[in-house]
Amino acid sequence: MFTGIVTDIGEVIASEDADGVRRFTIACRYEADTIALGASIACGGPCLTATKIWTRDNRTLFMVDVSQETLDRTTAGHWRAGTKINLERSLCQGDELGGHVVTGHVDAVAEITGRQADGEATRLTFEVPAPLHRFIAEKGSVALDGTSLTVNGVDGNRFWVTLIPHTLQVTTWGGRGVGDPVNLEVDLMARYVARLKETEDQ
């Protein structure tokens, strides 16, 4: 379980296909001895398992195995050496819930369709696959590339958010632009409310 509050920007430094999975090595600033083998880490949105942890050249490295299902349904299929990804460690009991409840289960890939300055902030517009737009509501929460963001407005299958300068600096969002794919996880509460309504209507 996560909160969508990014705590580091990781960098993919290697990838290889092995045993039916794609194995990524990711560099981060976390202390190696604080990452348990088998720990869950949100990597650009998807919850992945650390299968190996070590240090090299004063950097912490961890390895994750990504299934074909995840490669097909997320942006992980496009990761290459040098790709920067938002990282978040899993939530511990007693931690501050600063964003919203995020599972790390990506629903689909959305696309950035607009980027414009909004004072010192930046407004980004996204287009989502039609079946999922009903889960996105104005002033609701959404997780994009693992970042908890507030929806400012919705128009059909498009919605927009506003990023403050701090968010642009401490996440990968500062380098994102029109046409970029992003991992989308809709709000868990919205999903359950929609399911309950479907059940009532049957």
Do 113 and 57 lie in one domain? The reply is no
CATH of the domain at 53: 2.40.30.20
Q: Of 89, 124, 153, which one is at a domain's C-terminal end?
A: 89
Helix residue ranges, H only, 22-164: 68-73
Predicted confidence at residue 193, as pLDDT, reads 72
At residue 54, what are phi and psi to the nearest 5 degrees?
A: -160, 175
What is the rounded CA–CA span in Å between residue 126 and residue 108? 12
Domain membership of residue 75 as a residue range: 8-89
**Residue 47: pLDDT band with limits 50, 70, 90:** very high
Q: Does a structural domain hold residue 100?
A: no
Last residue of a domain, one of 89, 116, 145: 89
pLDDT category at 201 given cuts 50, 70, 90 is low
Q: Which of 175, 127, 129, 179 is nearest to 155 (CA)?
A: 127
* Structural domains counted in the chain: 2
Which two structure tokens, joined as six digits, stand for 31?
A: 């202390």
